[in-house]
Structure 1
């Protein structure tokens, strides 16, 4: 948490505090251990002049390795697959063309024109700051995480749900904004996933 101080300290929205609730450390540790999961939902991306949305047919997370199966006009018509781990991504477009890069965000941008911070999103989607970069957290009066500021993005948590038995509540809806760019994620299901 020491790294928080270098994020520019703007006033927090009314009703939010940067004082974590008493159970935050325990909750954060539990969410960090929850690193094998799958979810389904919807992703919307908006930036000046255009917007698009995609169904997340499956987001499979196995520690640092992720696989996303998307469908819609996002990244071109039809089904698109993203597979990667920190510092590497493979993108398969609906026509079967496959691209790989050591710059995940750069490849997504080159292929689609969208700024999608995929490596940070792996953390933000669980309600955690990414381990890369300074951050600032804000909590609502109920003690739920309401906002993360990190890497120029402001991530707002709009809804939490108890999706998984034995886990803290997980985000059901979040919006990440950076200037005029916006990424919204609505989660319809979360479940644990294990290879074993």
Structure 2
């Protein structure tokens, strides 16, 4: 029992840290073998493509850091509408609307910018590096369809980590938000080099 407790605490401490986890060999209590229901779960979550969530976003990186309230993030297929509020860097109320490969960003002062490189635009406007196109997948507990990835599962057969495009996405907490769906992420942490993005979700809703 003490050995199992120690292993569980070790995994939690690794997941709670701010550096990527060494995966060779795999930490005790983790596996890269998907559970038997993974194919069905990922198919169900993939079909859950019109939704809205609210919560908080925190970004930490060497140049600057800050937090924002996610007033709403509505996703309909590949199209997203994200409204943030933050006093950080005078952002105020900021909206992001787009699809993969296109973003329109409106700042609190009414200035509007468009770009075919969403991550570059977000960084130029806010100083934050956000993998905006992939987040719509990661936030549901799925790898993005483009690019190689690696999945790791914990000893309770839950998705623990996605590694994709140089990012390590850790699933810190799952919760039953919608009755006829698998548990959805309630907190995720995305790490890349010395950057960290954490999303805490207070509410998920289906939008049909």
TM normalised by structure 1 equals 0.92
Work out the CA distance in 2 between the residues paired with 1:78 and 1:188: 21
Structure 2 equivalent of residue 50 of structure 1: 64
1:113 Cα deviation from its structure 2 partner: 1.8
Work out the CA distance in 1 between the residues paired with 2:137 and 2:178: 17
Aligned pairs, number: 187
Instruction: Tell me if structure 1 keeps the 8 A contact 2:64–2:127.
Output: no
Structure 1 equivalent of residue 7 of structure 2: none
Q: Matched residue of 2:90: which SS?
A: coil
1:109 Cα deviation from its structure 2 partner: 1.1
1:130-169, aligned counterparts within 5 Å? 130-169=144-183
1:143-195 Cα deviation digits (max 9, x unpaired): 0000000000000000000001100000000000001100000000001012x
RMSD: 1.4
Work out the CA distance in 1 between the residues paired with 2:102 and 2:63: 29
Work out the CA distance in 2 between the residues paired with 1:140 and 1:116: 26
Work out the CA distance in 2 between the residues paired with 1:74 and 1:166: 38
Is residue 177 of structure 1 aligned with residue 185 of structure 2? no
Q: After the TM superposition, list the runs of 4 or more consecutive aligned residues in structure 1 that deviate by more than 2 angstroms.
A: 8-14, 73-77
Instruction: Tell me if structure 2 keeps the 8 A contact 1:108–1:114.
Output: yes
Structure 2 equivalent of residue 86 of structure 1: 100
Work out the CA distance in 1 between the residues paired with 2:125 and 2:91: 13
Q: Matched residue of 1:132: which SS?
A: coil
1:119-166 Cα deviation digits (max 9, x unpaired): 010000000000111000000011000000000000000000000110
In structure 2, runs of 5+ residues without a counterpart are: 1-21
Work out the CA distance in 1 between the residues paired with 2:136 and 2:85: 19
Q: Matched residue of 2:41: which SS?
A: helix
Structure 1 equivalent of residue 28 of structure 2: 14
1:36-72 Cα deviation digits (max 9, x unpaired): 0000000000001421000000000001000001001
Work out the CA distance in 1 between the residues paired with 2:135 and 2:24: 23
- Which structure dedicates a bigger proportion of its chain to helix? 2
Q: Which moved more, 1:108-117 or 1:10-19?
A: 10-19
Is residue 66 of structure 1 aligned with residue 80 of structure 2? yes
1:75 Cα deviation from its structure 2 partner: 6.0
Instruction: Tell me if structure 1 keeps the 8 A contact 2:92–2:108.
Output: yes
Compared with structure 1, are the counterparts of its residues 153 and 39 closer, same or farther at alpha carbon in structure 2 (3 Å cutoff)?
same
